[in-house]
């Protein structure tokens, strides 16, 4: 038998159980977004991928504006099921947010929002999304900093962004950053990286910005 203290191992198993529970409770609400971009004289066209999550029981899905901005058609898939056509409901380039909607019957339960003003540096967070098209991939990290300022797609600035070291890669954009209660603390939106892949510095739009912007995009 080992004489090593059980504390660290017990704490590790407790964290593992919490992360597993968050994934089990929330991953069905995370969607894979495919955007077909038409060719033009300045662009060869092609296919873009991103993530999103179910906002309500009306089929509304939150994602990033830059995921859908140039798409001629949008297809959304839930947990490996067939693709569903989606339409844009509203966009906010200054906050890099968009709402799209599918006509799928009985969408998964929407995700709840946390109060992002209550976040603490060092708090564990989980990112779920589709990096490089790999559906519903989970990564674990912490909140590295709060109140960061990042550029928006319309060359303005997004304030109060969350910085995290949870791995975020191309395809994660628009997916949720979650606390260990399974609540959305932010929407993963950017990385800072010389290689274009995760270097441990990612940014998310805070949940309180979603709470302010998304209902207006749906209503108007």
Q: Which residues are catalytic?
A: 66, 96, 173
The secondary structure element, H or E, covering residue 67 is helix 65-68
50: left (phi over 0), alpha (psi -120 to 50) or beta: beta
Q: Cα–Cα distance between 220 and 218 in angstroms, integer? A: 6
Q: Cα–Cα distance between 158 and 89 in angstroms, integer? A: 21
DSSP code of residue 40: B
- Torsion (CA) 113, 115, 119, 124 in degrees, nearest 10: -20
- What is the number of other CB atoms lying within 10 angstroms of the CB of residue 217? 20
Angstrom CA distances, 144 to 109, 166, 213, stand at 29, 9, 25
Closest among 60, 83, 84, 87 to 71, alpha carbons compared: 87
Residue 178's φ and ψ, nearest 5 degrees, are: -120, 145
The token duo for 84 is: 């569903």
């Amino acid at each position: 038998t080992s004489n090593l203290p059980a504390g660290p191992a017990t704490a590790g198993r407790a964290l593992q159980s919490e992360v597993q529970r968050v994934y089990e409770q929330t991953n069905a609400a995370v969607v894979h977004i495919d955007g077909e971009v038409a060719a033009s004289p300045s662009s060869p066209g092609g296919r873009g991928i991103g993530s999103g999550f179910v906002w309500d029981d009306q089929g509304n899905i939150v994602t990033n504006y830059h995921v859908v901005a140039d798409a001629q058609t949008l297809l959304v898939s839930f947990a490996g099921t067939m693709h569903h056509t989606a339409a844009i409901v509203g966009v906010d380039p200054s906050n890099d947010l968009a709402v799209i909607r599918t006509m799928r019957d009985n969408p998964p339960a929407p995700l709840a929002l946390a109060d992002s003003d209550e976040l603490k540096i060092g708090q564990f967070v989980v990112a779920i999304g589709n990096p490089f098209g790999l559906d519903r991939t989970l990564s674990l990290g912490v909140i590295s900093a709060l109140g960061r300022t990042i550029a928006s797609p319309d060359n303005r600035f997004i304030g109060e962004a969350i910085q995290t070291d949870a791995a975020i890669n191309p395809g994660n954009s628009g997916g949720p950053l979650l606390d260990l209660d399974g609540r959305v603390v932010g929407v993963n939106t950017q990385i800072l990286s010389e290689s274009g892949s995760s270097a441990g510095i990612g940014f998310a739009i805070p949940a309180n910005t979603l709470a302010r912007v998304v209902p207006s995009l749906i209503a108007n």
